[in-house]
Chain A
């Protein structure tokens, strides 16, 4: 009912009431009850008025709401129609009841043609069974989301995939009366997805190719893998890798062909595609975008003499990417495709797909890396080969050295054994004692002497082996040798703890880097020698005494006879007596000299040093020999310089008189001999010079030996014993001096000796 009708009815009722009231007032104007009733009616009427106004107000509000709702609905409808998704409402059986504009476009029908049609007619026949099943599930109130269905608007139109969302349409009793279908064409998305997947697959393939390429270290295998795999991936007719030569020509070094006809491999070409910007031959920062598509021409064989033109091949299109190895242009990866061989899925265009270009560049890049690796490895292999060869050579050398060393060791071992054998067979006690005074080596002789086995001695302390008494006697010598000074001494050592025997002990220190490590202790049994020496000494002493006594008598008697003390002798007798006396003299001198030397040798003559001076010694000697010199008419000249020295004056006098006597003997009459002493930095030099016959060079040394004279007849003619110079040398050496002679034959000799200050 319209509100205005309602209003009019109220007004009518009001008017009728008022009318009735009028009539009533007329009928009974003074009726109280009537008046009350009238009053009530009036109030009621007023209330009614108010209610009516409210009603008006409400109606206005309602109208506004209605308008808004209508506008909303309009907007909704617009939205509904122009939404990017198709929107359909069907009943429970899939009959379309409503469709928005998008849906009509999707299904390629007018809106009014759609209503009343079953949705299933837009489903391709093959997909209908699942669709019916879907409806069935929906009717079972199963919530279904994320379903994709295939839509085929008509036989002429392409099918597309739609993602659908389905909601239920319910009546007041909440019963499902239909479904709302939201359709979204996802074929583009699907395409993109497929493209993406293909892209991924290609990336995967490139990665796999790269892996395969890098799996090999052989350059040839790498390149062959690269072209074979690339050819498979891009489905081109031919893939060739060209290597850039130094003359800017290129050589095909790897090739893969769909038809298995390798017509480029190994051939050299003039490069028809070497771009100008590659002339620098160094790799730009970014490798990508460097490839180029070269339609219509290729390159020509360098040995193709008849034509210098590039070969136009319009049906062929080439995709060429530079290959850089270590920043330098190394060669090219060339894809070669005939137009008619293009796969159906690709547009019939000479242009290469962007992804193909990208793949080409990536492959070129990968090949570059692989080549770089391969070259590096090849280089490494060469290095390794060289190194291996070197190692082999040095190994061989080492082997030889080892063998040599083994031989040496063997011979060393043998010689060591030999040394041990020798050491053991020697009668000398040989041992090595370390600086802790422990034996490290001892020979058999030690074992015999000390009655201890070599094993017992090994690593034992000196004191343990020698016993305390003996150790006490040699302790200071051990200290001396361990301080780095060799020691030689003689002592009496008990043999097997019994008889004392004389031994000569030699301690020789052994050091490494200035540090004394130990010493060799050599002990020689000299007991027999000592005994013999003693016997000799006694013998010489007895003999000389026994000789001397009769000599004294003979010499004295002859002297008396010769001196005419017993009366004068006749001429021949006198001569004989003279001869006898002379030779007795010589015999006496000889005995004296032998005794001298024996005593010097045996060490029985000890040097008794005392302060003296050269002037006294020389003048005494000269005066002693003056008579002899006078007899030979020889002049003795001597230097009166007095140089103090400490020496045994008797010994030095003996030396000087010996030398002067020699000088006189070997000087010509009326010549001079000179005696001189000179002070030098460390010693005093004595010289006795003559102008005699001189000594040949080969005798300069030997004349100091016993009975060695320049001439064998000298002993007889010059009254010498042949022992004088030996005695001189013994005396000088006992003084730690030296004696020698310098001489020129025919001019004279000078004997020198030195004495320390």
Chain B
């Protein structure tokens, strides 16, 4: 299985742990965590992960602002972003695509199938 590095930007520690457990358990994927937007942007720029899982509802800087900042940075702009969101914060998939967001994984997600979901969205 291909090694992948995934950055999760999520203010909730339990979710960070869950994602880390779910993705690192069976594969050789590596999960890097960031607890807010600002940290996430910095981490993404230094680590340049293969994909970013971005929580939408975060204090201080929300997911969309964080995404805009990522897009504004040439280092991070090409990193595919998947939004982790509660169901009804979702906008139209087409609009997301236009924004450059690759996909959307609604919370609560199934950790067992999370890896598959991400691979499917990103075409890995």
Residues of A bordering B, CB below 8 Å:
544-545, 548-553, 555-557, 559-560, 563, 565-566, 588, 592, 595-596, 599, 608
- A548, B107: Cβ atoms under 8 Å? yes
Q: Is B21 an interface residue (CB 8 A)?
A: yes
Given A545-B57, A550-B14, A560-B22, A555 and B108 contact (CB-CB distance below 8 Å): yes
Q: Are A599 and B88 in contact (CB under 8 A)?
A: yes
Of the listed stretches B33-41, B46-54, B67-75, B109-117, chain A binds B109-117
> What are 16 inter-chain pairs, A to B, with CB distance below 8 A?
A544-B86, A548-B107, A550-B14, A552-B109, A553-B12, A555-B108, A556-B18, A556-B109, A559-B110, A560-B25, A560-B112, A565-B26, A565-B112, A595-B87, A599-B88, A608-B92
Structural contact, A588 and B108, CB atoms closer than 8 A: yes
B107: shortest Cβ distance to chain A, in Å?
Answer: 5
Given the complex of chains A and B, what is the CA–CA distance between A544 and B108 in angstroms?
A: 12
Q: In the complex, what distance in Å separates the CA atom of A549 from the CA atom of B18?
A: 11
- Please name the residue on chain B nearest to A557 by beta carbon: B18
Q: By the criterion CB–CB under 8 Å, are B15 and A552 in contact?
A: yes
A556 touches B110 (CB 8 A): yes
B18 and A553 contact, CB distance less than 8 A:
yes
In the assembled complex, the Cα of A557 lies from the Cα of B20 at a distance in Å of 11
Q: Which 3 A-B pairs have the closest CB atoms?
A: A553-B14, A552-B108, A556-B111
Q: Using Cβ atoms and an 8 Å threshold, which residues of chain A touch B110? A: 556, 559
Partner of B112, one of A545, A551, A559, A595: A559
Give the one of B14, B22, B110, B111 with max A CB within 10 A: B111
Beyond A560-B111, A563-B112, 12 extra complex contacts between A and B, CB < 8 Å: A544-B86, A548-B107, A551-B108, A552-B14, A552-B18, A552-B108, A553-B12, A553-B14, A556-B18, A560-B21, A565-B21, A596-B88
* A608 / chain B contacts, CB cutoff of 8 Å: 92
Cβ–Cβ contact A565 & B18, under 8 A? no
A residues less than 8 Å from B26 (CB atoms): 565
Determine if A565 and B25 form an interchain contact, defined as CB atoms under 8 angstroms apart.
yes
Q: Most A CB atoms within 10 A — which of B18, B22, B108?
A: B108
What does the 1/0 interface line of B60-91 toward A look like (CB < 8 Å)? Answer: 00000000000000000000000000111000
Which of A549, A557, A566 gathers the greatest number of chain B CB atoms within 10 Å?
A549
Q: From residue B91, how far is it (CB to closest CB) to chain A in Å?
A: 11
| Other-chain contact of B86, A548, A553, A559 (Cβ < 8 Å) | A548
Report how far A254 CA is from B40 CA in the complex, Å. 139
Closest to B10 in A: A549
Cβ distance B27 to chain A, nearest Cβ, rounded Å: 12
- Closest residue of B by beta carbon distance from A592: B87
Rounded to whole Å, the gap between the CB of B87 and the closest CB of chain A is 6
Specify the chain A residue showing the minimal Cβ separation from B16: A553
**Min CB gap B85→A, angstroms:** 10
How many Å from the CB of B21 to the closest CB on chain A? Answer: 6
Write the nearest CB–CB distance from A439 to chain B, whole angstroms. Answer: 45
CA distance A551 to B88 in the complex (A): 16
Residues of B within 8 A of A552 (CB): 14-15, 18, 107-109
CA of A451 to CA of B57, assembled, Å? 46
Residue of B nearest to A584 (CB): B108
Query: Complex Cα distance A518/B28, Å?
Result: 77
When distances are taken between beta carbons in the complex, the residues of chain B under 8 Å from A549 are: 12, 14-15, 107
Residues of B within 8 A of A565 (CB): 21-22, 25-26, 111-112
Cβ distance B104 to chain A, nearest Cβ, rounded Å? 13
What residue in chain A is nearest B111 (Cβ atoms)?
A556
Give Cα A46 to B43, complex, Å: 212
Residues of A within 8 A of B18 (CB): 552-553, 556-557, 560
In the complex, chain A residues whose CB is within 8 Å of the CB of B15: 549, 552-553, 556
Report the separation of the CA atoms of residues A449 and B25 in the bound assembly, to the nearest whole angstrom: 67
- Residue on A with the closest CB to B11? A549
Q: Which B residues are in CB contact (< 8 Å) with A566?
A: 21, 25
Q: Are A595 and B88 in contact (CB under 8 A)?
A: yes
Interface centre among B26, B57, B86, B109 (most CB of A within 10 A): B86
* Neighbouring B residues of A556 by C-beta, 8 Å: 15, 18, 22, 108-111
Interface string of B1-33 (1 = CB under 8 A from A): 000000000001011011001100110000000
Task: For residue B82, give the distance in angstroms from its CB to the closest CB of chain A.
Answer: 15
**Please, how many angstroms separate the alpha-carbon atoms of A595 and B88 in the complex?**
8
Name B86's closest neighbour in chain A (CB-CB). A548
Report Cα–Cα, A551/B15, bound state, in Å.
10
Chain A's nearest CB lies how many Å from the CB of B33? 14
- Residues of chain A within 8 A (CB-CB) of B22 are 556, 560, 565
Residues of B within 8 A of A596 (CB): 88
Considering only CB atoms, which chain A residue lies closest to B57 in the complex?
Answer: A545
Distance of B121 from chain A, by nearest CB (Å): 18
Tell me which residues across on chain B come within 8 A of A557, comparing CB atoms: 18, 111
A657 to chain B, nearest CB (A): 14
The residue on A at minimum CB distance from B21 is: A560
CA distance A588 to B12 in the complex (A): 18
Report B42 CB to chain A, min CB distance, Å.
23
CB-based nearest B residue for A551:
B108
A560 neighbours in B (Cβ, 8 Å): 18, 21-22, 25, 111-112
Q: Which of A553, A566, A595 has the most B CB atoms < 10 Å from its CB?
A: A553
Bound-state CA distance A563–B25 (Å) is 12
